Structure 1
Amino acid sequence: MPHQAEAQVDACIDVSLEDDRWIDLEGRAHAALLAVLTHLDLDEGEVSVLGCDDARIATLNAEFRGKPTPTNVLSWPSEERAADTPGAMPHLPTAPHEVEWGDIAIAYDTCAAEAQAQSKPFDAHVTHLLVHGILHLLGFDHENDADAQLMERLEVEILDTLGVPDPYQESGA
């Protein structure tokens, strides 16, 4: 009997929409958070998500990363949880006071353009980016090959539980 089916987890998502084109972002974000919690065997987590457009995310990207261009997703972790060595697991939250993981912003325009260019369903691409952003909040990164391999493996495993195909496999014939 898998422990995931028995797990009692508390996934709290606070979604703010600045772009009316986002449909069911809250549902997708909640499913992504729940899947991450279950896969990493965590009891609870709270994440805020901003659904915006390219103009807003470009402003945020300029302000926080010095890059005045749109991007698909940005993450602001509430705490530094990075691993001590490349490819190792980050310091995942374990104490009750560590339930607030941070904030994510996701841009509709860039997500839609990427999904179309990659011939992927929009919902699958957005779900991937939400899982990706949530993992960033937990200290996962892709700054070096070892960290990238760990993060991508977890993304693929988590997305599989949501019925989303491996985003790193080439689509098409």
Structure 2
Amino acid sequence: MAQQRVSIGDLVATQLPEQPALSPDGGSIAYVLKSTNRAEDRDERSLWLVAAGGGEPRRLTRGTGDSSPRWSPDGTRLAFLRAQDRPPQIWVLPVGGGEAEQVTTQAFGAGAPVWSDDGTRIAFAGPIDSAALPGEGSDDVANHCAFQKAVQAKVIGYETTSTPEIPIS
């Protein structure tokens, strides 16, 4: 068999697994699969799940900017970041099936999620507008881009019906 050189097209077509997260029971691995969309000249990332012992992977999300998968302590949900044409926000996905639910709406985006030990809260850090005046809408990205940004840690109570945001002092 004749040897063939690797081309740029071969490299671009290669899909790479990233950011593996082992489930609490050790039976599954959630990971990010990075691929390249040549038509739009950008990398895309989606979440996948595979048994820790091997097997056929299962696609969990159809997003193009999904990253940072974090298992809930009971192993039934994944918190992750989704960044599609806007700053990343935290979403939660039931691993057994169902739709992902957005749980943050931070103007400048949220950082990687961290579950509380009891699975009822998610902590994260993210940039904020430290120069905003009281009453200014924190979701108005256009009005806040000119202001200095700072980082603030937050904890959100996570329930499927509501997600209050509680600043940490």
User: Is this a same-fold pair by TM over 0.5?
Assistant: no
TM-score when normalising by structure 2:
0.29
Structure with the greater alpha carbon radius of gyration: 2
Greater RCO (Cα-Cα under 8 Å, separation 6 or more): 1
Considering fraction of residues, name the structure with more strand.
2
Greater per-residue helix proportion: 1
